[in-house]
């Protein structure tokens, strides 16, 4: 029913673990690192969230061959297992990267299974152009981007810092391409201090370094790294997330029993709201960040902040939809075309999606009336509302008719778009039973944008749906849907005003 562990945890942990490998720069001859002097090299780490082990990270670097040339080959694997309302969910992501002898990146292959089927992203860099091919199920998309000469891959961050020479007090910025978001992110580096740590019975001098990515409102990772680039510890304090270097046996040991949904729910002070409520107002307090860049303000939701940008109020008021003012489908307005297009997760051009949408809507050409039919059909037909799938696609959900809020939402959006009804994904919080939970729901354009709720069986989503700011159209990575989670997890308090 509620937003997935993949978005709450997997996104952040992927970013936390990505800063590991190599990149070219001007080097002092005496600078040596584990990646350039000690191949093959292997490292294992335990991943913990809220003090509980939830997974492991393994990296192995050696030499290989690519296109007839000798390369540095880096394999990595991230595995996590988390419970959601008692049901175990496992997720794995593997990466393969090739680097030339001058350490410039050449090729990568990423495979993840958060959808329940393999998502394969392959990239090759030639003459400053990154060509990307993404395959999920039977759909493959291709794109390309220009990579500027001073851009590095996020996997290369430690090596870059080692090669520049670790020095306490150093501060500088880098352009970092992230293989998960498939975008270039400005990253600020600060070498804070030296510390002595104990590992395997030895005292090791490390540099404590912060990396702040200008992404999802700013994500800071703190690392404890030796002068040769060996990482012993990583933290993302805002998420209560840590990774610690261990031996293979310990890394392969059992994970803990963290129920992520129960562990991240947000209690509400004051009177509980009724389901279906049409007006709702809360006092909101963030321990860091600010309300106006976290929660969207639109014709449904008002966000006000006082002198302290972390404190203020959020009010949601529902207004009825005037069916007579809803446009006829298919809608062809140029500004709405992005909300009618298929994507990796929303295959609105798939024959099965198109056929089912026509069956559900019949000859109803009023966008709002047709959207209501789709909403009711999705709620009624996804009978198995479980948490087995990480982040299913519309086509996959139509086939299996199972899942929680993300599957309800992508199936709704896929069906609606195939009917010519502009639709998009919203993320935020919803009050359910005893607390606020992270959640997905769809919005449709019916003369104005209207929030709907196929998961909970509400045609028009009630006023307890508090929406985050997010990208208007989903990307192939879907990482944008985790931004509000990262800005609020363990940071938000809510008190009902009205």
Domain boundary among 199, 233, 251: 251
pLDDT of residue 32: 57
pLDDT of residue 359: 97
Residues 127 and 185 in one domain: yes
Domain containing residue 39: 5-251
Residue at 263 is within a domain: no
Residue 291 contacts residue 314 (beta carbons within 8 Å):
yes
Residues 311 and 377 in one domain: yes
Residue at 320 is within a domain: yes
pLDDT of residue 115: 65
pLDDT of residue 414: 96
Confidence (pTM): 0.82
Residues 113 and 35 in one domain: yes
Domain boundary among 200, 235, 251: 251
Number of domains in the chain: 2
Residue ranges for the chain with pLDDT beneath 50: 1-8, 19-30
Residue at 276 is within a domain: no
Q: In this structure, what token pair is assigned to residue 289?
A: 């960040």
Residue at 287 is within a domain: yes
Residues 33 and 165 in one domain: yes
pLDDT of residue 6: 41
Residue at 46 is within a domain: yes
Residues 308 and 247 in one domain: no
Residue at 247 is within a domain: yes
pLDDT of residue 1: 43
pLDDT of residue 26: 33
CATH number for position 384: 3.10.620.30
Residue at 175 is within a domain: yes
Residues 355 and 399 in one domain: yes
Residues 344 and 465 in one domain: yes
User: What distance in Å separates the CA atoms of residue 253 and residue 242, rounded to the nearest whole number?
Assistant: 17
Residues 199 and 307 in one domain: no
Residue at 257 is within a domain: no
User: What distance in Å separates the CA atoms of residue 370 and residue 381, rounded to the nearest whole number?
Assistant: 16
Residues 168 and 247 in one domain: yes
pLDDT of residue 3: 46
């Amino acid at each position: 029913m509620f937003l997935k562990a993949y978005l709450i945890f997997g996104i952040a942990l992927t970013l936390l673990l990505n800063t590991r490998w190599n990149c070219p720069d001007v080097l002092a001859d005496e600078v040596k690192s584990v990646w350039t002097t000690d191949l093959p090299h292997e490292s294992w780490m335990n991943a913990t969230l809220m003090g509980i082990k939830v997974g492991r990270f393994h990296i192995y670097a050696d030499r290989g061959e690519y296109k007839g040339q000798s390369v540095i080959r880096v394999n990595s694997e991230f595995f996590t297992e988390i419970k959601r309302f008692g049901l175990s969910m496992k997720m794995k992501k593997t990466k393969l990267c090739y680097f030339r002898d001058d350490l410039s990146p050449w090729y990568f292959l990423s495979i993840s299974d958060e959808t329940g089927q393999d998502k394969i992203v392959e990239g090759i860099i030639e003459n400053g152009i990154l060509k990307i091919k993404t395959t999920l199920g039977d759909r493959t998309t291709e794109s390309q981007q220009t990579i500027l000469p001073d851009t590095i891959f996020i996997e290369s961050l430690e090596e870059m810092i080692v090669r520049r020479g670790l020095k306490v007090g150093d501060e500088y910025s880098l352009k970092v391409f992230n293989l998960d978001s498939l975008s270039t992110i400005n990253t600020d580096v600060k070498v804070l201090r030296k510390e002595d740590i104990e590992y395997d019975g030895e005292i090791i001098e490390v540099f404590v370094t912060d990396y702040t990515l200008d992404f999802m409102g700013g994500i800071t990772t703190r690392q404890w790294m030796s002068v040769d680039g060996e990482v012993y510890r990583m933290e993302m304090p805002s998420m209560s997330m840590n990774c610690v270097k261990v031996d293979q046996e310990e890394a392969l040991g059992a994970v803990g029993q963290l129920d992520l949904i129960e562990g991240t729910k947000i209690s509400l002070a004051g009177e509980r709201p009724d389901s279906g409520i049409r007006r709702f107002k809360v006092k909101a307090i963030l321990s860091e960040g600010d309300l106006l860049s976290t929660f969207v303000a639109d014709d449904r939701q008002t966000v006000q902040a006082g002198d302290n940008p972390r404190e203020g109020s959020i009010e949601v008021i529902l207004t009825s939809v005037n069916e007579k003012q809803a446009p006829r489908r298919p809608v062809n307005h140029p500004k709405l075309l992005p909300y009618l297009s298929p994507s990796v997760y929303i295959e609105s051009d798939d024959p099965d999606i198109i056929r089912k949408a026509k069956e559900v809507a019949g000859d109803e050409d009023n966008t709002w009336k047709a959207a209501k039919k789709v909403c009711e059909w999705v709620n009624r037909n996804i009978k198995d509302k479980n948490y087995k799938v990480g982040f299913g696609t519309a086509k996959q959900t139509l086939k299996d008719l199972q899942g929680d809020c993300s599957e309800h939402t992508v199936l709704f959006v896929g069906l609606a778009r195939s009917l010519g009804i502009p639709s998009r994904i919203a993320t935020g919080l919803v009050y359910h039973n005893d607390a606020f939970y992270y959640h997905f729901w769809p919005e449709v354009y019916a003369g104005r944008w209207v929030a709907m709720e196929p998961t909970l069986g509400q045609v028009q989503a009630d006023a307890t749906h508090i929406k985050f700011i997010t990208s208007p159209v989903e990307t192939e990575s879907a990482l944008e849907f985790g931004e509000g989670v990262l800005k609020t997890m363990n940071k938000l308090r809510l008190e009902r005003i009205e």
